[in-house]
Structure formats: structure tokens, C-alpha cells
Amino acid sequence: MIDRFGLGGVALHRMEQGDRVAELFGVKYPLVQAGMIWCSGWELASAVSNAGGLGIIGAGSMYPEILRAHIRKCKAATHRPFAVNVPMLYPNIEEHMAVIQEEGVPIVFTSAGNPAAWTGRLKAAGITVVHVVSSVKFARKAEDAGVDAVVAEGFEAGGHNGREETTTLVLIPMVRDAVRIPVIAAGGIADGRAMLAAMVLGADGVQIGSRFVCSVESSAHAAFKQRVAEAGEGETLLTLKELAPVRLLRNKFFTDVQQAYASGAKTDDLKALLGRARAKRGMFEGDLEEGELEIGQVSGRINDILPAATIVENILREYREALEQSRSRIWQGQ
Ligand code: NDP
Ligand code: NDP
């Protein structure tokens, strides 16, 4: 952390919220593009980093040598910092972490696992480490493990989700009050208004996923992007809690899961129904019926597919407008 004011720990409290995250990552805006399996390869990550945010390569869907290729392409496409997200459930995590260190990736976001497992080793290699959490308990655990920041991800988020179902509105102030490290809000944020709201709740920055699935540079299949852009209110639901809670768009696969529940399916039946590579089938291969379509609740507010740089610009413009409007529109408490 840069001590801009020469005041040690006090400086942290004087520094503006967004500055803590932007300075931690060496980027212009406190805006992070989420690492998402099948959707965020090098093209999206480099486009977001070039636009002033922090782009993330989602390693969960990549074999180690594919990850290496994406990191190399990302380095060639941007001179700005970028990160790699590694879900800790990943089967070849040792190989992923070796690739990340060999390729000199400056920042790693870990998720879906114990932060104590890798934080020390990554920090010793000079890597900035952020862990994704969905509760205060895990935020504290991540801070104790020595991470540089946490992403606090609420119930609205797509893909894997917390078992407690805590919404972003409830989670952010609770995590803010529980830890001293920077807090990056996620879940339900796709525009500048929501970004401002998250900052008012105490976040130091935001992580945005679904909005970037509907970007030109996302590696999601064109049919999945179009489906997300067309999705309306109430079209995603959290399911498969016995395996790993996941938020999905309604489709034939989702209906099959619901019917399995209705007929009293056990965990093993659900596992068999899920099978293997359903997420790839839906999000990467564009099978909108049989595939698993992971996306956030906020997909109901996303209606177009735009270049990543335009998405970043729009969010920043909306943020500034919302901030300005809040001075005249919002009740002043008198
Ligand atoms: P290519 O289109 O040549 O793809 C390079 C490799 O990356 C291909 O094997 C491609 O799979 C795979 N690939 C692309 N995007 C993803 C993704 N999001 N998740 C998993 N695999 C992905 O050029 P790229 O540089 O765009 O991609 C290089 C490789 O990276 C591709 O093989 C691609 O499949 C893979 N890739 C993997 C991503 C992932 O998240 N796992 C994301 C983006 C690319 P394929 O040959 O089937 O197209
Ligand atoms: P599945 O078991 O259904 O399928 C594995 C998929 O990952 C396949 O499509 C496979 O590609 C690809 N893959 C990439 N690397 C490997 C590897 N080393 N060994 C086996 N498969 C690999 O898993 P999911 O698709 O549900 O999840 C894949 C990963 O993504 C997991 O690590 C999971 O924890 C993570 N994940 C993270 C989410 C998040 O929100 N952070 C959400 C969902 C999953 P191929 O078919 O080409 O072999």
C-alpha cells in the first residue's frame, strides 16, 4: 500500500475509497472485471486493463498450457496490470500456480476454497493476492491468511455462490466493518449507479462479471451472449445447493434439475444429471438447452453487447452522473 500522506496506518483512512484499490493494483479505476470460466480469456482481460480497469483471466476452464497461452497473449496485448482468477476447486491447481509464477503474473484472485492454502506462497513470490468471499466469516479468514484485499460477492452474483444467500446490500457493510483490508463489492453490479451504491455501502471498488459476458471481447459463445442480453427479470435462480450453489438462467437443463428435485432426487442423482462439462456446453459451445448457463441476476438489466472499453467508459460516466445527481435528488436528511 502506498503511503501517500506519510502517516502510516492513518493514511489508509484518509485515502479516498477508490484510491486504495486503484493503487493496490496499479490501475486507473477501482473497477475489476470478474474472472469467469469460459467467458474471460486474454482478449477480454487485456481490453479491460487497456481501458483503465483490472482485467482478469478466468483460469477455471483452462488446462495449464492453455492458461500459459492466454497469459502470454494478454502480456502482448497490454502493458497494464492484469490478474488471473484460480478457483481452488480446480484439479490441477499446483500446475496453474506454477504457470502464473513462471509467467510473472502480478495479481492473483483465488476463489472457492481456503485462502490459507496459497496466499503465503504467492505473497512470498511478490504477487498481490485477493480472495473472493461470500460471508464475514470467510472475509476474516482471508484477512488472517494475509490477502491484500477481498472481493465480497453477494447472492445476486452468477455462477458459484455462497450458501448463506447473503445479498450484496447486506454483505458489503458487514464485511466493511469486519476487516481493515480493501473490500471489492460484487454481485448485482453492472452500471455506475450500482457501483456508486456499493461505494456508499463501504466498498473500495467493484468487481463486475455479467456485464462483461456481454462484451465483444468475451470468449462466451455468441448465442450465450445474445441469450444474456435478452434475459429479463426473474430469469435466473440459485440451484444445486447440495453440490455447489450456482446461479443459472432458466432453460431445459435448469427445468430438468427442478424436476429431479420434485421427484426427490438425491445428491448422486443430481451429480449424474449435471454430468461433465455442462458449463462448457452452454457458455462456450452455445447449447442453450442442454448447457449450464451461469450468469447473475443483473442479466435482467443488460440489453446489448458492447466493446469492453465502452462498458468501462459507460460505467464511469454513469457513476459520475449518479454522484452528481445524488447531490440534488437524494434526500438530504433534514
Ligand atoms: P484460440 O481461439 O486459438 O483459442 C486458444 C485456446 O483457448 C483454444 O484451445 C480455445 O479453445 C481456448 N479458449 C479460449 N477461450 C477460452 C476460455 N474462456 N476458457 C477455456 N478455453 C478457452 O485463441 P485464444 O487465444 O482466444 O484462445 C486460445 C485457447 O484458449 C483456445 O484453445 C480456447 O479454447 C482457450 N480459451 C479458454 C478459455 C477458458 O476460459 N478456458 C477462454 C478463452 C480461450 P477452442 O480451441 O475450443 O476454441
Ligand atoms: P466440470 O467438471 O463440469 O468440467 C470441467 C470443465 O473444465 C471441462 O469443460 C474441461 O474442459 C475444463 N477443464 C479445464 N481444465 C481442466 C482440468 N485440468 N481437468 C479437467 N477439466 C478441465 O466442471 P465445471 O465446468 O463446472 O467447472 C470447471 C472449473 O471451474 C472448476 O475448477 C470449478 O471450480 C470452476 N468454476 C468456477 C466458477 C466460479 O464462479 N468461479 C463457476 C463454475 C465453475 P474440456 O471439456 O475441454 O476437457
At 66-80, the pLDDT tens digits run 999 999 999 999 999
The answer, yes or no, to whether any atom of ligand 1 lies below 6 A from the CB of 70, is yes
Angle at 103 between CA 27 and CA 43, to 5 degrees: 55
pLDDT of amino acid 226: 98
pLDDT of amino acid 273: 94
Residue 84 alpha carbon to ligand 1 centre in Å = 15
Amino acid sitting at position 297: Q
Contact predicate 157/169, CB 8 Å: no
Nearest ligand 1 atom to the CA of 67 is 30
Q: Can you tell me the distance from the alpha carbon of 21 to that of 178, in angstroms, rounded to the nearest whole number?
A: 18
The answer, yes or no, to whether any atom of ligand 2 lies below 6 A from the CB of 278, is yes
* Ligand nearest, relative to CA of residue 57: 1
pLDDT of amino acid 15: 67
DSSP string, 89-128: T-TTHHHHHHHHHHTT-SEEEEESS-GGGTHHHHHHTT-E
The answer, yes or no, to whether any atom of ligand 1 lies below 6 A from the CB of 212, is no
pLDDT of amino acid 71: 98
Q: Can you tell me the distance from the alpha carbon of 215 to that of 195, in angstroms, rounded to the nearest whole number?
A: 18
Q: Just give the CATH number of 13-220+304-333.
A: 3.20.20.70
**Mutation probe of ligand 1 site: the residue of 40, 43, 62, 280 with most atoms within 8 A of C-beta:** 62
pLDDT of amino acid 223: 98
Residues of the chain with pLDDT below 70 are 1-15
**Mutation probe of ligand 2 site: the residue of 160, 280, 281 with most atoms within 8 A of C-beta:** 280
Residues of CATH 3.20.20.70 domain(s) within the chain?
13-220+304-333
Q: Can you tell me the distance from the alpha carbon of 195 to that of 140, in angstroms, rounded to the nearest whole number?
A: 23
Residue 61 alpha carbon to ligand 2 centre in Å = 5
